[in-house]
Structure 1
Amino acid sequence: MTILLAPMEGLLDFTLRDILTRVGGIDRCVSEFIRVTGTLLPERVFTRVVPELEHGGRTSAGVPVRAQLMGSDAVCLAENAARLASLGPAGVDLNFGCPAKVVNRHGGGAALLADPELLARIVSAVRRAVPPEMPVSAKMRLGIADTARAVECAQAIADAGADELVVHARTKADGYKPPARWECIAGIREAVKVPVVANGEIWNAADAAACRRESGCDDLMVGRGMVSYPGLALAILDPSRPPLEWDALMPLMAEFWDLVSRKIEPRARAGRLKQWLNYLRRHYPEAGEAYLRVRTINDPVQLAEAFFGEALVPA
């Protein structure tokens, strides 16, 4: 089984990728999207979103990171994919799944699922633009308002040259509302000749087993479940493994805060820690208590003192 860490705009950036991959169980990450809107982006844009490009395309734990592009112009995406490929990512991923209105209004993300021919042109153009040995993958949803064209879209992506397809088992209209329709992935998996990875609503090892059973997929992508419980990937691989306790997580949270304090602008630092604590509340009662203690604090030094008991902001 291969377990991938999902791209999540505004949540799963390089700081959290770094920490979560240190826990173990994650085989590969996909970055949050890099928006391509008609220009050839400078290298600094790619390295800002995916700083792992400056370290061999891997997190500090050695886990490879594929960089994700999002856009609707096949030619422009190809040009940017070529530049991105020169920076050495573990692969190039294409976003056909983002449900955000601001993205879809401009024809990106899940909105592209209305046009399988355009999906094929994008994948084909990107595949031709990058070295043949570099993987090109894509992530899609089941559709926009329904699943009627899910198989058609998947076939268009696979036949155009994608090496792997991740399917989030919801439509654009579903957003992130449960349940995820894992059973709908089964038809896609049977219809394409490339590996299919199942994604959506995997919060624990039982969910993972059910997802694999209903989708027929061996491989999984986890996102919010891994943020909420950093031991999730290890638990999926071995459900009998002892859980990751709060005391064992605290040193990793200190490392996360150190990264945030060094790499994130000051005004956004407190929000990053509170955001993660808010997700951790789902699994850890201690996180709920800590969140209530710090939720009104926006000064990074005060926040560190209130949560860690000391100021962990580097001088």
Structure 2
Amino acid sequence: MSSAAPAEAVLDTAADDFVVPFAVEGLDVRGRVVRLGPAIDTILARHAYPEPVSALLAEAIALTVLLGSSLKVEGRFILQTQTDGPVGLMVVDFEMPDKIRACATFDAERVAAVSNNEATDGETIGALLGSGHLAMTIDAGPHTNRYQGVVPLDGGSLEEAAHVYFRQSEQIPTTVRLAAARAFRGGTDRAYHWRVGGIIVQHLPPAGPRRAPDLPPGDVPEGADIPDLEEADEWTEARLILETVEDHELIDPSISAGKLLVRLYHERGVRVFDPTDILERCRCSQSRITEMLKGFPPEDRADMVKDGEIVVTCEFCSSRYHVDPAILDD
């Protein structure tokens, strides 16, 4: 956050592939807005996911960028869901400060069955995810310990899971909004393309957030009475204002991040900081794949050989790598 300016003066033209921090000093809140267009479209187009799976993965990517971009460390922030639902696995890998990749596995028949049911967007997302867990991992490098937070998924949305995480693990009052949809971009291809947007707001007063007592699995014994902590008036106002955001406002390229923030918090003097461009980048390469294969036992590598070579397809970007088995014994 090297510089700040009134929201009206910033991001009037930037519409895609960025995350921007902001602050509303009058309400003691900080936050970030993410908008992804071509980057998210590229990720999803590589896999030809069914539309509900694409929308769900897009929201997971936006949430990952919102959370990972707040970290002031080098390394990776990884969001992963593993559930019994039609979308059994999602992995989003954010290489700080600006590179993103993602993939998902799903059961096509079960996804189609959910899609054919009449349900709200939130109910559809919950049905796609099913029950399981969401894990968020900070990997700051080989010489540091990983930090991981895990929250349950039980038929709810990614927004709800994020709220549970911050309430139980970080104990910081937090609200998240996410939206994804295909939109008409115009231009020569006359086609629809994916867009996703999100916003996070957190109550961070100068004296520090008022933390509630530990929730399970914290230090409080199971079954103990946990008193409610009265919500600060500033946070109540900030939260209720954010809840007025409509999905189309998060993804409409004609509504810049600056304009959205002015609509929400202009009376309290919202300020935005320098945006960070978000790039779609996979970490795979010929050398990485070769080194990975060298780590397998020779008998396992022998089982991988087809027509005199080993072919590896990257789950994230679908790139195919052809490796001569002879070089793996060097």
Normalization by structure 2: what TM-score? 0.27
Higher normalized helix content (fraction of residues): 1
**Structure with more relative contact order (C-alpha pairs < 8 Å, separation 6 or more):** 2
Higher normalized strand content (fraction of residues): 2
Larger Rg over CA atoms: 2
Normalization by structure 1: what TM-score? 0.28
